[in-house]
Amino acid sequence: MGHIELRDLDDDDLDAIFEMMRDREAVQEAAFTATDPDDRAAFDAWIARQRANRENALFVVTENGGFAGTAGAFTTDGDREVTYWITAHARGRGVATEALRLLVSREPTRPLFARVASHNVRSIAVLERVGFTEVSRMMSFAPGVGREVEERVYSLLPALE
C-alpha cells in the first residue's frame, strides 16, 4: 500500500468513478448498487444529486496521488452513514481500511453507521478493523445481485472517555 489520502471529488473524477462502479465483481460484492451500472445517464443524475446535497461529504481516495476509489458520509433516516468503493487494482492491500480510517477521523458525528451485504467478507473485515461493530441484520433487495440478500448494519460508537 502506498500513501493514501482523501481529496474532494471534482468533475474530472466522474469518468473514473463511473468505470469503477461498473466492475462486475465489485457490483456482485457490494450488492446494493445501481439497478443498471452501465447506465451513464442514471449515474450522472445520481452523482449530481449526491454532490448537490450539502449534508454529503464526498471524497476521492488516492494512492500515491492516483485514483484508487471513493469514500463518503451521508445522512439517511436521521443516521449518519459511511460508504467506500475501491478500484480493483487497489483492493486487498489495506487501501480501503486506511481510507475508512481517514474518513472516520474527518467525520465528527457518532454513532456512524455502515451497511454491507453479508457475503462481502472483505468489506466486513475493513469495517471491523476500523472499530465498527455489527448491530443488526435484515433482508434487503440488492440490485447488484438481482435478489434479496442479508444486509448487515454496523455502527461506530463514540470513544469511551
Q: What value does the mean pLDDT take over residues 13-36? A: 93
Query: Residue for cell digits 433482508?
Result: 139
Strand arrangement of the beta sheet that strand 112-117 belongs to? 4-8, 57-63, 66-76, 79-86, 112-117, 147-156, 133-142
What does the pLDDT read at residue 70? Answer: 98
Whether 78 shows a pLDDT value over 70: the answer reads yes
Q: Given this model, what pLDDT does residue 161 score? A: 46
pLDDT at 1: 76
pLDDT at 147 over 80: yes
Per-domain residue ranges for the chain? 4-156
Could you report the per-residue pLDDT of 81-119, keeping only the tens digit for each? 999 999 999 999 999 999 999 999 999 999 999 999 999
Q: How far apart are CA 144 and CA 29, in angstroms?
A: 8
pLDDT of residue 158: 77
Percent of the chain with pLDDT over 90: 87
CATH topology of domain 4-156: Aminopeptidase (3.40.630)
How many helical (H) and strand (E) elements, i.e. helices and strands, does the chain have?
5, 7
Average of pLDDT values for 60-70?
A: 98
